[in-house]
Structure 1
Amino acid sequence: MVRVRRPSPQTAAVLSTLAAAGAGWSHGYDLCRVLGLKAGTVYPILIRLAERGLVETSWETGPPRGRPARHRYRLSPDGAELARALAEPSPARAVARVVPRTT
């Protein structure tokens, strides 16, 4: 049986932010700034998501003069599906919020 792990909160935040951008491209630096996460957290997440086919990557074409081209990221169809699934509340979590635990 294959075990499916839920993504870390940081990975879920990256997926959610990319989902909010829709089909548009995002830059890693912008994701760091929006999420308040360091590059050492965001870029490894983006690499893992790209390796799993959840994020599409591309080099920026025609960068402004005086700066190098940047890598761009956006969700693939599979990544968008995962982001939607993560945004939906799970029944177990919904019950946990409604029914207090007794100890």
Structure 2
Amino acid sequence: MRMTIPVAKVLAALLAEPGAERYGLDLMKLTGLPSGTLYPVLHRLQGAGWLTADWEEIDPAAAGRPARRYYRLTPEGVTSARQALAELRALAPEARPARGGAMEAPAW
């Protein structure tokens, strides 16, 4: 899996609650990514076997909204995502002091 900043943001959002199902709009809010960036990332993660995707089983008329597609990390995805983000953090420049002396972590 090629690790880009958008991929890292999506993985970090999914790892915040590894067992939780997330839908597109939820992930867009968590990552700050637009749909045109988010959905290709989700597709790549799914193709790599790191992510499952299932449609919500609802009656759109009764719910008053379209069915959502929920995404969740696979067990392999959880392990691989944790390892990939750890490797990425190890390559990141050292955290630098922010104003007030607090250490600033890489933002992804």
TM-score, length-normalised on structure 1?
0.76
Aligned length: 93
1:11 corresponding residue in structure 2: 7
Secondary structure of the 2:67 match is: coil
Unaligned runs of 5+ in 1: 99-103
In the alignment, the residues of structure 2 paired with residue 91 and residue 84 of structure 1 have an alpha-carbon distance, to the nearest angstrom, of 11
> What residue ranges of structure 2 are gaps of 5+ in the alignment?
96-108
Cα displacement (A) at 1:51: 1.1
Identity %: 38
Return the TM-score normalized by structure 2.
0.73
After TM superposition, the runs of 4+ consecutive aligned structure 1 residues lying more than 4 A away are 89-92
The answer for the alignment partner of 1:56 in structure 2 is: 52
Post-superposition shift, 1:52? 1.2
Query: Could you say which residue in structure 2 is the equivalent of 1:101?
Result: none
Q: Judging changes above 3 Å, is the alpha-carbon distance between structure 1 residues 27 and 92 closer, same or farther for their aligned structure 2 residues?
A: closer
Superposed CA deviations along residues 25-71 of structure 1, whole A, max 9, x for unmatched, are 00011111111110000001001111111101111122661111110
